[in-house]
Every structure is written in structure tokens, then in C-alpha cells.
Structure 1
């Protein structure tokens, strides 16, 4: 019988000169530091199935754990798969695997395993996890050439929750899968972390065990072949069993609190909203010196506030910081968001001439806010700015917006955007930081002969410098292409553009 003593530690494995070698690695506890796959099943359950499915998964997790550790590893995994997957649309599972899981997987990459795995010429992963759940991350972000995982059966586009033959890939099933993939030519390196990995590891020319080191530091994201720039999903943190329980218990309370916070913002006079938010646990920090208000009676054109885009609530928190309602123009906003918004919102038509005429008219009536990125990004990047605003006025004030959420993201690409404000305000203590920067100097504005692109790039640079962000050329189309997988690719790591 093969035991752990038969294999050397991964620390003894040389990683140089491996360009022509093939490596086969387990996932949980090997490529990833964490040995439990529960958080990732919980993400699929919540993001594709909702809070009730997460609750069912949480209730059955003790049974899964008992079976896993005392009866059969395969039986425990089957319980997790059935509870998380049964009845879900396959397209929804694939969407979560592509747009949600990579962010969490990439933050848990084991440094020693990655040191050995990354330089090999052929990279393969052999895992008990459902292939549909892990393949997108392993291929798109880690450059895996082959992913062998448990296959989940489907019926009419939905997962049944049952496992296809030969069953869960553990123990001898892993060895059989490796033989089928490699035939009589065994891979050079095998990496595993537990006794059910030993059968496939024994077939490799060299095999190494990954010791359990819970305090090992994960690989930094800049070492990955591709950066996780666009990601979706509502949960901010990886849902361990304890955190999943907190989420389930908090959602009813959080929703009522969100309704109260939204009502305070919508019904109270704007000068009082700042204080109401503080009383209700919403922190608003104002930095810089905002310009005085410009009204229609003054005869002057209004100030156009150019905001970095974090959520749909940016103009509302801008108004909260100023103590007066600032109308906002937007490319898209849900009907529900329009109804509950305490400020005037105006839809852009995406016709440049029509939109320019409408914004000029609004500026004659007073101040106005716009988010020229057009779409949001949760990572420290500013997406490409539209230069439309720079053609309309020289009264331009950049505003750097930062928000902080501890439990739920207040943005979504896959879900119903009408719920974005609710999810933001459902956080126990959400925060917004609004930094007013200096007005764009006259010599750098259109009136001094600068092009609209020059003005847009200047404003993007000063906002990025304030936030310590990078600027990218990515657009709304790039975001939705990446998250929906229309071309099967993920954007390369962003390059700095226009001096940012």
C-alpha cells in the first residue's frame, strides 16, 4: 500500500529545466492552499441558486463532512454536488465558473505548487471537483492544457446533481483518468496532498506531496499569467461555513436596513441625508474643496462633475457630499433605480450629437454629474473614459470615488441591476469616500485648443493618481465579453495608456 512516506515533499522538487515535462496536479490542498471545496460550492449555490440554496447547502454540509472524513470521500463530495447543482441551469453554472470563481480561486494559489506547476511544458489538473466548475479558471488563468474532473449529468439544459460514470474522481478513479489521458507515457511530475491522490501519483515518474501548511502565503496576483480584472457575483468574501451562516442570518436584517437607508436618502432633504446616513451606519467621507453651486439665475454654465464609476450610487453620494441634489446623466439605469433615486437621472441615447445637446441644456440649468467610464470595475483600474464630456464645457471638476463593502457587492453584470442599491446598503457598514480634485485649468481645457481626448486623458490620469489606480483601454464591451465568455477569452493584463 502506498503511503505518504513514499513521496518526497514538494519543497524538494526542482522547477528549472521543466519546459518539456508534463505535470499532473490535484486542486484542493495542492494547487490551492485550502483543502476544503465548500466555499466554492457555496459560491455556485448562492450566485446561481440564491440564498435558499446556500441555506440548504449549509444545512447538509455536516452530513457531507461526516461522509467525507468517516465513510467515503466520494460520498461527501456527491452530497455537495447534488445540493449545490441539482436543478440549476448549466449556463448559470458556467457563468459563475467564468465570472465569479476565478477571483476567489486566484487568491488561494499555493506558492510551492505554482512554482513547480507554472514552468512545465504541459500542465494538467486532476480533481474531484466538477469539471464544469473549475475548468474556466484553470485554463484561462493558470494556463492548464488539460482538466480532468468529475462530470455532472444534465437533462434539458439543467444539472441533475448526479455524477456521471465513473463517478467522483478520487482514489483509483483518478489513476484511471490519468491512464486514459496519457496512455503508456506517464507524466514526469505528479502533485497531491492526501491518500486518495496516491494512486495517480504512483503512476508519475516523480511524485511530490504538498504538506498541510495553513499559514503559507498565497501567490500574489501579479504572478498569474492573466490578471483578474473583471469579475461578478454579489459576495465580497469567500463563504466559509461560518461566514455563510452569517450571510444567511444577516440577509433579512440587512434587507430591512437597506430599505430604511434608501428611504432616508430618497425622502429626506439632501442637506440632512449626510447625517441620516451616518446615523444608519453608512459612512461618507468628503475630501478636497468642492466648488460653490451654480444656478440658472447666475447666468453661468454649471459645473460638470467627472466621477470615477464604482456603483450606480455615485451621483447620490456626490450629492450627499455636496449637500444638494446634483442631476446625473447615465447610459443605463433600471426603472426601479429611477423610482427610488433622490436625484434627477437622465438617460443618454448613445448618439453623440443628441447627447451633447442634451447635456449642454442641462448645464445651463445648473451643475451636473457624469461617470465617463460608462461601466464599473472592482479592481484598482480605471476603464477607458468617453471624451464626450470634454466637448461640452470648460467647467470640469474631477471627483475620485471610492466605496467599501464588507459582505455584498453593489454592482452586477449578470444579475438584476435594480437590486444593486439594495445590495450595497445591505452591507453592515458601507462606506463612500468622495474626493473633490482641482478644477481642470483653463490652459488644459478645450478653450485653450486641447482636443477632447487630451482633456479626457488628463482627467483620467489625475483621478487614477489620486486613487493609486492604473488606467486601461478596456471598455464596457470588453467587460461583458469577458464575463459572458462570448469569445472564450479573458483580457490580458492591462497596459498603462496615455501616461497613466
Structure 2
């Protein structure tokens, strides 16, 4: 908790900030008009980035800002909202949303507006929560907003320097890990309680921080390339320190996934959209209806038969597509079928049961008691003890069909994690099932949040899309029974089949890799986190 002396300091600074805000609102119209004309005149003398040659730049230095140059987004607000919601909670996000009209009047990305967003977002926020958002949430949205031409120019240079008026903790991790930026200078945030909490205040203004950084970095020397934003006059600070300067105009072209500097396989957080003020306001207005939809959908799935539940679910907006079911899943009275599914959400086995119109038990490694309570099918926990889990699966198969997700954890992006080969040793009646889920508002999976909320949030999406495709039973010659294939070979083959069916890329990453990247642990979830 922030100490009383710090609170007194915060009150004094907040009073001064309100005074600056009043002056800013009073002169906003005049200032905006003159700044626009000045920026246009200054940048008209610079070269467009499309004319920047990319050859022989390996030994050259590039310097640029983050907002307006590397990012296509015209506003910083959504990225502060991501931190406020994912790191600080829904009430902090609501406060930031209520202040969005004031932020707009202050100039959206002006100095006073920036300080106001920083204060609301970071006041009393734990450093641990900010680090989690910077590591697991923001990279996805940054990659989706990268400016194509700016990224290509940056990638062609050997040394990369970013000097920005944004808080350094917001951008540094992404810039260094994904874009290979050597040096990042940004606004430093003040800390309290031995560096565990943010106070919400900055050590100096963004303009002063950028000016000092450029002088310290280059002095009398100059960078080879400077990237300037056509939307802001602040980048004019870079001109004296660059041999060549190129102006970046606003672009709507997204950087294609295959051109990402680093594959985006794992990410966390609940929001599936960029929270602009209008989009986030729409979310708050939709919340009561979303909660009602979620409860109705869960009750329908629990109580009603499959043939009745499907039309009702479709009426509430659920899109459910089944392919390859005809004649391929009839019950075998002599031998049970092991359904091998891709793992996108915790309801994958429920989708399988809905498709075949009968309950199919499932084995799982991690499931909250809430999800276990409302599951309309039998779920059995695995212990990660190979022999014990093998005996459990054989017992279940002796009683009937069984569903298993060999990846061991979910993945949101179009990638498949490594398949555990244990399922291939259980039976030769194996049927691969490609399962995919698409959402527009909330992700129904988490690595660091409360797993008990997963089903509720998943069902809150207005029009969730579910796809289940049966690929047909494997021929016995392609199983371990045939004698030519090992369990690992069968697992890899099934992974490739499912990847091809979904258009996903196969990887060798595991559950442990996912949790080390997102939550910095080995994936062993505590009871409190599972609730």
C-alpha cells in the first residue's frame, strides 16, 4: 500500500495537474489549429518513407518514436486501457473510460492527457501486474498495429533506438524481445513501497525525457535514419540528430502474420479486441446482456437434450459447424473409440459430445471446480504420472468412448502444441477430431487469471463460432498395433493431420513452455487460481 507521505505528494501534484488541464482546455481550439498547420509545413520538407532504400543498412543506426511511427493506431488510449483492465481490474478501466471525454478535450495524446492516462492507469498498480501485462498481453496488440513500412525500414538497420514519451514499462519488453531494439528511452514512472507499486506520476515530461535522451545518445553525432510521424510535431526533435529523415503517413495495412519478427504463439488476457473508447463503452453496455446470455447458454447445455439444446443455442447467437460426421462415429459394441481433439478451450470435449449427440467422457490435466461442476459430461483428472494416467485411460476406454486433448493445454493462435504420445499406446481405435473456436469479445482461457471464470466469459461472446471436424478413424497399419509406428510417430502424424485440417502450424512447444512464457511458472496451478 502507498505510504501517507506519498499520498500527500500525490495530492499536491494532482492539484497542479488539474491547473494545467484547465489551461489546456481553455486554449485547446487555438493550439490545435496552429499545431496542425505547423506540422504539415514542417513535414512537407521531409521524404516519404516509401522512398527509403532498404539495401546496405546492416551497419546503420535508426532512431524513432513508438507511437505514430511504429504503431498504426492513432490513439494511445487503447493501450492504457489494456493495462487498466488486464492489470488493474474492471473498476479502474471504468474510471479511465469515464475520463475519456476529458482526455479527448486535452488533446488525446497531448502532454496533460498523457499524464492523466498514466495517473489513472498506474496509481497504486502493482509492478508485478504491469510486468504480466507487458509480457503476455500487449505484444499481441502491438504486433497487430505495427506499421508495415516502418517495420521494414527498422528491420533493415543494424542498430535500433526508440525514444518515446510513453512510459518505458509499456513498450520496452516488446521492443527488445520482438523488434530487437537495442536501447529504449521513455518516461520513467515513480514508485512507492520499495518499488512494488506505481504512484501514477512521472519523473519528468515526455518532451524533456526525449530531448535529454537524444542529447545523451548522439550529442554531436547523428543517427543514420530517423522516422518521423506525419501526425505529430514532437518528432521534430529527431531532425537535428539524423542524417536522413523519413515521414510515416497513416497506414491501414496490417503486418501479415507470416512477416511477424517473432511468431505470436502464446498470449494472455481476457479482451479479444482493441479497447478504443467506443468499443469499450459498447462492452460495458453489453455486459448485462452478455451475463444473461452466458447463464442461459450454460443452463441449456446442462439441462436439455442435445437435439433441443442446439436450436436454442443457435437462437442465442451460437454458430456450430460439424463436418465429417456421417457414418464415422457409430458406436462400436466391441471396442471403444478414442477421440483425439485439438485443444482450444475447456469445452472442446463438450463440443465433441454435442456433435455426436451423446456424452463422451474426457480426461483433463487442469480444471477448476466451477468448470467441473457445470460440465454436462464426465471429466476425469490426470496426474501427470505416466503409469497412473495410462491405467486411468485404459479403465475409461473399457467402459466406452473417451475424449483426450494431447496438447495438455489450450492455444489461442493458429498453432498446435506438441502431442503427448500416451494416447497412441491406449488403443488402435483412434479418431482425430479438429476443433476450433473463434471469439470476438472475451477469451475463455487464461494462464494467470481465475480459471473458474473461463466458461462464463466464453459464453458471454455475442456470436461464438465453433467448428468440429471428424477426420475418420486411423487405419490399424498407422497405429502402434501395426508394428511399424512408435507412439511418438503416431502422435506426430495425428498432429500433422489436425494441423492440415485446420490450417494451423505444428510446433514442438509444450504446456510448460506456455506457462513459462506467460506466467513464469511451470503450469502447476494453485487451488485459489483455479476457482
Structure 1 residue 63, shift from structure 2 partner = 1.1
2:48 maps to: 9
- 1:324 partnered with 2:358: yes
Which residues in structure 2 correspond to 1:266-345 (within 5 Å)?
266-289=302-325, 290-294=328-332, 298=333, 300-345=334-379
User: Matched residue of 2:466: which SS?
Assistant: strand
5+ unaligned residues in a row in structure 1: which ranges?
488-500
Which residues in structure 2 correspond to 1:475-490 (within 5 Å)?
475-484=510-519
Structure 1 residue 303, shift from structure 2 partner = 0.9
CA–CA distance in 2 between the matches of 1:206 and 1:95?
37
Number of residue pairs the alignment of both structures matches: 476
User: Matched residue of 1:95: which SS?
Assistant: helix
Structure 1 residue 209, shift from structure 2 partner = 2.1
1:80 maps to: 117
Structure 1 residue 457, shift from structure 2 partner = 1.5
- 1:143 partnered with 2:180: yes
CA–CA distance in 2 between the matches of 1:461 and 1:30?
39
Q: Please provide the CA RMSD for this pair.
A: 1.8
- 1:201 partnered with 2:239: yes
TM-score of the two chains, using structure 2 as the length reference: 0.86
* More deviation, 82-91/265-274: 265-274
User: Matched residue of 1:473: which SS?
Assistant: coil
5+ unaligned residues in a row in structure 2: which ranges?
1-37, 523-531
1:41 maps to: 80
The answer as to whether partners of 1:274 and 1:321 remain within 8 angstroms in 2 is no
Post-superposition CA distance 1:178-237 (Å, at most 9, x none): 1123343332222121211112332222222222x343x122232232111111111111
1:232 maps to: 268
2:501 maps to: 466
Post-superposition CA distance 1:43-76 (Å, at most 9, x none): 111111222222211111121122126xx82111
CA–CA distance in 2 between the matches of 1:456 and 1:195?
57
The answer as to whether partners of 1:311 and 1:376 remain within 8 angstroms in 2 is yes
TM-aligned CA distance change 1:486 to 1:403, over 3 Å: closer
Structure 1 residue 80, shift from structure 2 partner = 1.0
The answer as to whether partners of 2:218 and 2:241 remain within 8 angstroms in 1 is no
* Residue of 56, 80, 83 corresponding to 2:95: 56
Structure 1 residue 115, shift from structure 2 partner = 2.4
CA–CA distance in 2 between the matches of 1:259 and 1:371?
26
2:34 maps to: none
2:400 maps to: 366
CA–CA distance in 2 between the matches of 1:287 and 1:195?
55
CA–CA distance in 1 between the matches of 2:190 and 2:362?
48
Post-superposition CA distance 1:422-457 (Å, at most 9, x none): 111000011211111110101111111121112112
CA–CA distance in 2 between the matches of 1:408 and 1:439?
34
TM-aligned CA distance change 1:456 to 1:173, over 3 Å: closer
TM-aligned CA distance change 1:227 to 1:395, over 3 Å: same
1:455 maps to: 490
* More deviation, 380-389/10-19: 10-19
CA–CA distance in 2 between the matches of 1:313 and 1:400?
13
2:106 maps to: 67
CA–CA distance in 2 between the matches of 1:253 and 1:445?
48
Post-superposition CA distance 1:15-37 (Å, at most 9, x none): 22222211111111111112211
Structure 1 residue 469, shift from structure 2 partner = 1.2
CA–CA distance in 2 between the matches of 1:22 and 1:53?
40
The answer as to whether partners of 1:259 and 1:422 remain within 8 angstroms in 2 is yes
CA–CA distance in 1 between the matches of 2:453 and 2:296?
15
CA–CA distance in 1 between the matches of 2:345 and 2:521?
24
Structure 1 residue 486, shift from structure 2 partner = 7.2
CA–CA distance in 1 between the matches of 2:337 and 2:504?
25
1:210 maps to: 248
* Residue of 412, 417, 426 corresponding to 1:378: 412
Post-superposition CA distance 1:231-267 (Å, at most 9, x none): 1111111112111111111122211211111111122
* More deviation, 96-105/246-255: 246-255
User: Matched residue of 1:153: which SS?
Assistant: strand
Query: Which structure has greater helix proportion?
Result: 2
User: Matched residue of 2:490: which SS?
Assistant: helix
User: Matched residue of 1:434: which SS?
Assistant: strand
User: Matched residue of 1:231: which SS?
Assistant: coil
TM-aligned CA distance change 1:335 to 1:13, over 3 Å: same
CA–CA distance in 2 between the matches of 1:331 and 1:60?
43
Post-superposition CA distance 1:129-163 (Å, at most 9, x none): 11101111111111111111111112121111111
1:353 maps to: 387
- 1:190 partnered with 2:226: yes
Structure 1 residue 278, shift from structure 2 partner = 1.9
TM-aligned CA distance change 1:229 to 1:362, over 3 Å: same
CA–CA distance in 2 between the matches of 1:9 and 1:472?
40
TM-score of the two chains, using structure 1 as the length reference: 0.91
User: Matched residue of 1:118: which SS?
Assistant: helix
The answer as to whether partners of 1:142 and 1:224 remain within 8 angstroms in 2 is no
TM-aligned CA distance change 1:351 to 1:357, over 3 Å: same
The answer as to whether partners of 2:329 and 2:356 remain within 8 angstroms in 1 is no
TM-aligned CA distance change 1:459 to 1:391, over 3 Å: same
TM-aligned CA distance change 1:280 to 1:111, over 3 Å: closer
CA–CA distance in 2 between the matches of 1:320 and 1:6?
63
